Chains A and B, each alone.
Chain A
Amino acid sequence: EAGVAQSPRYKIIEKRQSVAFWCNPISGHATLYWYQQILGQGPKLLIQFQNNGVVDDSQLPKDRFSAERLKGVDSTLKIQPAKLEDSAVYLCASSFWGNPQETQYFGPGTRLLVL
């Protein structure tokens, strides 16, 4: 079974530029999560999708971050414009239905450095 795919793996941009990350979850998984992990901290949930609908985006900085999952499969997370404090690893995860008893499967992450 293929795992969660993310690209790119690394990205360096200057502040005020825009950047986009892509995630392809495990086939058949209805729930997709985007997390932000700052160095030395645990993953922080940014947005959770159930199929192509948003379940939770309470911690997404909506003035600069946006995410979509148009066909209920792969997803894109965008930052525009980026700030220095956005430097972090962006992790995508998926689970079968979003039940808290289910395992979340994480991708390798995209490491973003904002200069």
Chain B
Amino acid sequence: SQKIEQNSEALNIQEGKTATLTCNYTNYSPAYLQWYRQDPGRGPVFLLLIRENEKEKRKERLKVTFDTTLKQSLFHITASQPADSATYLCALGGMTTDSWGKFQFGAGTQVVVTP
């Protein structure tokens, strides 16, 4: 069965450092991978999308890589700030008829940035 794994333990990091999160998957060939941020009591908010033929994507202090050979995506927050504290979810989506528009989410990794 398809499985998506994200670090289950919270990532505690000092302000200014780079936070790196992983998203590993098995039995899946996603065409797209998205990263979302979720704050307590709120719905997820879209951050970045990366396609299977893209190695890296950047947006301000965020960077995402996508390695289809390793079946892994890395999500980096550079120069982290306390406001970056949240849970980060990866979501994988395919382009087959059966999975059009349907994303499967990982469980998320909580990031805590301390001053």
Contact = CB atoms under 8 A, between A and B. Distances in A.
Contacts of B51: 101
Interface residues of B, number: 27
Contacts of B102: 45, 48, 55-56, 100
B41 A108 contact: yes
Main secondary structure of the interface of B (DSSP, over half): strand
A34 interface: no
Interface in B65-115: 89, 91, 93-95, 99-108
A42 B99 CA distance: 18
Nearest to A41: B107
Contacts of B49: 101, 103
Interface of A: 4, 31, 35, 40-45, 48, 55-56, 91, 93, 95, 97-109, 111
Contacts of A4: 43
Given A55-B100, A55-B101, A101-B32, A42 B43 contact: no
Contacts of B104: 45
Closest 10 A/B residue pairs (Cβ): A106-B43, A42-B105, A98-B101, A100-B93, A103-B46, A42-B107, A43-B105, A100-B32, A106-B44, A41-B107
